[in-house]
């Protein structure tokens, strides 16, 4: 079936999805902040809205579109992050503003550059409606993007957001030249931190080990194509947050997500050692070697300990 898709957000990921779905035969209209004007006309005569804006842009776009949203129009959210004010995911922001639209989430190990070059990848469509997830799985899959489904949108989003923080930390480790043992240890303990937050937000533990959790973490934390990983290496070189962002020259979700996650964790009484050291480094309260020492010198504890 050919869909009329309205795409909001034409960054690296949005542009990649646009090309993939046009090649699949779907009809695409898109809007970006660079275009100016309003995305409201995209709500007319379409079968699906895909939101691929940065996390910072989600709430303004929600509020712009909410009064005009056609009843029953499905939304596929592709934004990754935690809102620092609402301390919630992108789909939760959409639901707060739109009510209860048919809603799904797309997430997974999706480095846009690789997909744009035709390399294979897999992702997950998560929705409380198994019927919606299944329909989108069939309609949006492409020859080089295999889609799976699950019924845990919040866990899928939480994992997709927090892996950016751990990828940033992995970049710091790589930038300091700490080796493969340190990176592996960091990713393992980082996955545990993601799991603690995921479950606290109401996600399902199985999601942690799927494409949106472990899969996305491995891709984002180990590839130089990852903005968050590259950002971490720049921090390790001694650059400030502003200097590193300027060097990257594009949106990096990790810093914003780290601060929002730490605020969320404090309110829930959770301890997130890696996230805490990332925020301390971003705020220039510690340097990169000092953050590593702080993690290594923590009191001994059992491996399987939700207190981390």
Residues assigned a catalytic role: 163
Q: What tokens does 206 get?
A: 């199985």
> What is the spatial distance between Cα 230 and Cα 207, in angstroms, rounded to a whole number?
26
Number of CB atoms found within 10 A of residue 128's CB: 16
**Distance of CA 177 to CAs 120, 172, 189, 227, Å?**
30, 9, 19, 18
> What is the spatial distance between Cα 297 and Cα 295, in angstroms, rounded to a whole number?
6
Contact 221, 167 (CB under 8 A): yes
∠ CA 147-17-33, nearest 5°, is: 140
Extract the runs of DSSP E, i.e. beta strands, from 88-217: 103-107, 121-126, 145-150
Contact 241, 281 (CB under 8 A): no
Cα 75 from chain centroid?
A: 17
121-126 and 103-107 beta bridge pairing: antiparallel
> What is the spatial distance between Cα 269 and Cα 257, in angstroms, rounded to a whole number?
18
Give backbone dihedrals phi and psi of 80, rounded to 5 degrees, phi first. -120, 120
Closest CA to 16 of 168, 136, 144: 144
* 298 Cβ contact partners less than 8 Å away, ≥ 6 residues apart: 273
């Amino acid at each position: 079936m050919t869909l009329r898709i309205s795409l909001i957000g034409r960054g690296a990921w949005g542009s990649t999805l646009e090309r993939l779905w046009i090649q699949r035969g779907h009809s695409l209209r898109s809007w970006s902040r660079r275009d100016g004007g309003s995305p409201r006309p995209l709500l007319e005569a379409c079968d699906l809205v895909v939101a691929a804006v940065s996390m910072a842009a989600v709430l303004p776009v929600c509020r712009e579109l909410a009064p005009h949203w056609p009843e029953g129009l499905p939304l596929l959210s592709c934004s990754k992050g935690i809102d620092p004010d609402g301390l919630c995911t992108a789909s939760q922001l959409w639901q707060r503003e739109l009510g209860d639209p048919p809603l799904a989430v797309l997430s997974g190990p999706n480095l846009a550059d690789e997909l744009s070059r035709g390399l294979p990848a897999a992702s997950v469509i998560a929705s409380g409606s198994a019927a919606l997830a299944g329909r989108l799985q069939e309609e949006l899959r492409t020859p080089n993007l295999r889609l799976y489904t699950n019924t845990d949108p919040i866990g899928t989003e939480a994992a997709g957001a927090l892996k950016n923080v751990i990828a940033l930390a992995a970049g710091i480790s790589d930038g300091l030249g700490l080796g493969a043992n340190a990176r592996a240890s960091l990713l393992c303990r980082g996955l545990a931190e993601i799991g603690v937050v995921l479950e606290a937000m109401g996600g399902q533990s199985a999601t942690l080990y799927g494409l949106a959790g472990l899969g996305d973490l491995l891709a984002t934390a180990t590839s130089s194509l990852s903005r968050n990983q590259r950002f971490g290496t720049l921090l390790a070189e001694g650059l400030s947050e502003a200097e590193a962002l300027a060097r990257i020259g594009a949106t990096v979700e990790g810093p914003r997500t780290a601060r929002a996650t730490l605020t969320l964790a404090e309110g829930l009484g959770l301890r997130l050692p890696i996230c805490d050291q990332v925020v301390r480094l971003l705020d220039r309260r510690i340097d990169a070697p000092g953050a590593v020492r702080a993690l290594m010198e923590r009191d001994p504890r059992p491996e399987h300990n939700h207190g981390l």
